[in-house]
Structure 1
Amino acid sequence: MGCCCSSPDRDVEREPLLQSSNRTQTESARPPRPAAKDGVQKSGRFTARHVGVPGLDERFTDVADTFNKQQDHYETMKNNLQTLASHYHCQNDDSLSQCLKKIKEKHELCHISLEVKGYDFILMVKSDTEIPGELKQTQENITEMSRATKAIISVGTKLTQMIDSLLRAEDGMISQVEAAESRHQERRRLVENLRENLRETRRVKELSPNYRKEAGNLLNEAARLSGITP
């Protein structure tokens, strides 16, 4: 019988990703976020509030949109790794090394390896028999994790520059907002919106580098598992 070889790029039909046995699909896509002790949300999406100055509104919206995409990619990366860890009964839910070891143990009749090309990593499978559907789903799971990891890293520098540019201009923002609105109550509301946007921008400035660091660590771990020295 001929040898079967499978990589995610070669499989046209994609099966659903593995789902953790103790989570619903919705829970996997949006894990619970811990409440912040000081009342400021420490994770989650950034919704930019209207401040009445078109240039500022556009800049805050750009930061929010860029961060929210990174946030989504971060959740995808974490959820895929945790789902694999749960499915293959790993002790740690954040160890790609443990996942790969368990995958190889469960599918010992297949030759399984992790390959890294640039910022992409894929699970390669070779077998003398038909490759199990479960293993194909695992390949897709790792491919989704790889795409998310790459996206987190690629947007990081741009987002940092956008945030730093906004915060450097903070001192003159209140006067800009006040000058753009003559009605007292509306002016107060817009200034408070501005302050909230700035608080959110500082939160994002704190979170985004952590996301990049975790993504970089995962990529380095994948490189080591593939035999590449990061």
Structure 2
Amino acid sequence: MSALCCCCIQSSTDDETVPFSKSAPAPKQVKVLEKGKKLVVKNVNVKEYDDKFVEIAELYNNQVENYTAMKKCLFQLNEVNGTANLPGCMEKMKEKYSDYGIQAQLKGYNFSLVVKETENIPENLQESQELIKELSRATKVLIGSQTKLGGMVFSVSQIREEMVDRIKEVNVGYLDQIRLVENMEENVKNIDKAKLLSTEYEQEASEVLKEMADIAGATV
């Protein structure tokens, strides 16, 4: 019996003697933010920083919604008119609805499809007018909000080390510190990616605006 006990004791591993509270978990796999997907930020248990991350996420997610709306409008315009791109769509409408005095109009960052006043505007033409109105609204939001988002993300990146120190100061538990600092690092990586994607959204919106300006014979 004593030999058996001795054997059991010797089979214990060093890991079993390490207190749980001092065992650092393996690093988590960070899910990278994808284009067109909403940004979800994690809690770091410091209100000032949580508020910053939430504000950035809300602004970025609004961009995602408008980017999705912009792409949907472009797709539906081509579907309604049987075309492949915005210039082709406008040209097709001018040919098909030549009696309605169709014109593309640009004022600042706002553009619209102007149609001669009449009681019998074809349904497809009315739908195209509404789609271009929504397209204008979405592209304007994307162009106008990108700079603000970039500035917010930059301000957070400047206090990265400060955030780590503050999180550890507020949360004294070792495992809490590990988890919350990991949350902060994941948030920073994803908002950095959001900044890059935001630039892509703005570039695509600017291209739409440029195409409408060319169609309207204006400059932006």
Aligned to 2:168, the other structure's residue is in SS state helix
2:102 maps to what in 1?
A: 112
Are residues 1:159 and 2:166 paired? no
CA root-mean-square deviation: 1.7
Residues 120 and 184 from structure 1, CA distance in 2 versus in 1: closer, same or farther, beyond 3 angstroms?
same
Gaps of 5+ in 1: 1-37
CA distance in 2, matches of 1:229, 1:212: 18
Aligned to 2:116, the other structure's residue is in SS state strand
After superposition, the C-alpha distances for 1:78-100 in whole angstroms (9 at most, x for unaligned) are 11011111222213xxx321111
2:116 maps to what in 1?
A: 126
Structure 1 residues 50-199: aligned runs within 5 Å: 50-91=43-84, 95-126=85-116, 130-199=120-189
Q: Which structure is higher in helix share?
A: 2
CA distance in 1, matches of 2:166, 2:41: 17
Name the % identity: 34
Gaps of 5+ in 2: 1-29
TM-score w.r.t. the length of structure 1 is 0.78
Among residues 40, 51, 55, which one is paired with 2:32 in the alignment?
40
C-alpha contact 2:80 2:124 (8 A) present in aligned 1: no
Aligned to 2:98, the other structure's residue is in SS state coil
CA distance in 2, matches of 1:152, 1:121: 14
Partner AA of 1:40 in structure 2: V
CA distance in 1, matches of 2:151, 2:112: 31
If you compute each CA radius of gyration, which structure gives the higher value, 1 or 2? 2
CA distance in 2, matches of 1:119, 1:58: 31
Residues 133 and 87 from structure 1, CA distance in 2 versus in 1: closer, same or farther, beyond 3 angstroms?
closer
